[in-house]
Chain A
C-alpha cells in the first residue's frame, strides 16, 4: 500500500502549477478558518471575562424571579447570604448591586435611565465598565454620600447637565409607589457602551437602597472566582448553605443568556463561512483531480493492463487527494499558527470599525487577541482532510471506469 501512496504523492508534482493552486486553496481556506476560529475563541473569552467581571460574576445570587421578570421588588436581604461567602473556595471578590429603571429629569429635559447601585470601592479596579479612563470629568461617588452620582455623558448632554449640576431621579420603590430623590453630578462617564453612556446613573449602593426605600436589600450578589473550574463545586456549596426561598444561585450562563446567544450566533456565522469555503475547496479539488485523471487516462489504461485492479486504482487517486490535503493542511496550519502567535500577543485593533462596544450587554475590548483553540484546529484539519478524500471519490470512480484498450490507443497517438 505504501507504494500507492508514494505514487499518489509524486503525481502531485506532475503539474506543479495546478497542484500548487489547489494546495494554496486548501492552505488559504484552512488558514482563514483557523485564524477566524482562534479570533472568535479569543473574543469569546474576552466577552465572557468582561461579562463575568462587569456583570453577574461566575456565580450570582438573585431572587428566583428576578432574572425572568426584572421587577425591582424582587430583592433579597444581604444578611440572608453573607454567611455563605465564607465557604466559597477560590473567591476573588463578591459585589452587591441594585439595578433600578427610572426616569431622570433636569430643569430642561427628561430621559429614561438605569440606576446602578454599587459598592464603588470594590468595583473600581475590577469592573471593566468602570476603568479610571472612562471617568472623563469629576470623581466617582463617595461611600455613604447619598447625593453623589456619576452620569453617562450622553445622558448628561441630553438633559443639558454639567458637573455639579442637580437633577431628579424618579423610580418605583419597593412598595410600588413612585419615589424621587435629588442628586448632584459628581462625575461624567464615557465608556463607549451606548447603554451606559446614554442611560446610566451610578450611585453608591447605600444611596440606591435609599432610592428604592429598602434597608439592606439588593438585587444581585456577583461572585467572581479565581477560575471557571471552581464554578460547579461552589454552586453546589452555595445552594447547600443558603436556605432562603428569596435567593437563588445562578451561573453566569443563566444570568447572561444574551451573551450566550450572541456567542452562539457568531459561532454559527463562522460555521456558515467555513462551510462555503469547504464547498469552494471541495469543487476545486474535484476539478483538479478530474483534470489530472482525464490527462492521464492512457496511464491508467497501462496500469490496468499491467494488472492493477480497480480498488488499487481507486486507492491511488484517493491517495493523491490525501496528499493534496496533507500539503494544504501543513501550510495552512503553519501560516495560521504564525499569525495567531503574533495576534495572540499583540492583538488586532478594531476600534476604528466599532461604534458601540456593547456586545450582548457586555463591554468588549476593541483590541481582540486570538486564543489557541486546539480542538477547533484539529476539527478543521480533520474536516479538510475528509473533504479532500470525499472530493476525490468521484475522480477515483472515473479512473476505474477507463477502458484500458481505448485509453492506451488514444494515449499512444501522442
Chain B
C-alpha cells in the first residue's frame, strides 16, 4: 500500500473508461488533481461531464482503469474491498443528491448508524450526536422519520450523518439539486461553517452557480477532463 502525500485527495492521470458495445466512453480522462486539507471545493460542469464518476473514484466506490487515486495518502488501487470499505467508513463522509436517508430509522438513528457500523461504544453515541444535531438545527427533529421532514431538513440530516464519524473528507454529489434556492443557500452556509470550524475537507459536484459562488476553489470539468 503506497503512502503518498498527506493531501486528502491526490489523483494522478486517472481515467475511467466505460465500454458500450464497440464504443469506449472516457467518463474521466487522464485527470490530475490535488485537494488540500480544509479546502471547500466544487467540481463544476454540465450533466454527463464526469463529476459523479470522479467523486465515485475518490470515494472508493469505483476503481480507475488507469492512473492512481490517493485518499489520505492511501492508493485506492491497491486496497482490497475490505480495506476500501474501512477507508470509506473512517475517512470519508458521503452526501447524496437524493438525501438517501434510511426511511425506517429516525433522524437520531440515521446519524447513529455510522457510529454503530464503526463499532463505537453505545454509551458515547449521544455525546457525539447531540452537539451535531444542535449545530444543524435538528435537535427538535431527532425522533422524526425522514418522511416527516422537508427536503432541506433531510439534507441537513445527511450532512450530520456525513460528519458524525469524524471523516477527513466529505464528498457531496449535487447536494443542493433537489432543494429550493433559499434552502440550498442555507445548507451551503452550514457546510461552509463546518468546513471552517472543524477543518473538514469538502468536495462537491454541482452546476448550481450559487454553490460555485460559495466554494473557495472551483474545478471545472468537461468531457471527463479538467479544463
Contact = CB atoms under 8 A, between A and B. Distances in A.
B219 interface: no
B25 interface: no
Nearest to B86: A307
Contact of A405 (B56, B98, B113): B56
Nearest to B60: A305
A350 to B, nearest CB: 48
A306 B52 contact: no
B104 A11 contact: yes
Interface string A377-408: 00000000000000000000000000011001
Given A3-B116, A14-B104, A305 B61 contact: yes
A309 B119 CA distance: 12
B100 A411 contact: yes
Nearest to B102: A299
Contacts of A3: 112-113, 116
A414 to B, nearest CB: 6
B8 interface: no
B114 A302 contact: no
A305 B98 contact: no
Contact of B89 (A11, A13, A302, A307): A307
B25 to A, nearest CB: 14
B117 A307 contact: yes
A176 interface: no
B61 A307 contact: no
Given A7-B105, A10-B105, A304 B100 contact: no
Interface string B96-129: 1110101111000000111011100000000000
A18 B117 CA distance: 28
Contacts of A299: 100, 102
Nearest to A4: B116
A409 B56 CA distance: 10
Q: Which A-B residue pairs are the 10 nearest by beta carbons?
A: A307-B89, A10-B104, A405-B61, A405-B56, A3-B116, A302-B100, A412-B98, A307-B88, A404-B61, A405-B62
Given A306-B89, A308-B89, A309-B82, 19 more contacts: A3-B116, A7-B102, A7-B104, A11-B104, A14-B103, A298-B100, A304-B85, A305-B88, A305-B94, A306-B88, A306-B113, A306-B161, A307-B90, A307-B114, A404-B61, A408-B61, A408-B96, A411-B98, A412-B98
Interface of B: 52, 56, 59, 61-62, 81-82, 85-86, 88-90, 94, 96-98, 100, 102-105, 112-114, 116-118, 161, 165, 173
Interface of A: 3, 7, 10-11, 13-14, 298-299, 302-310, 312, 404-405, 408-409, 411-412, 414
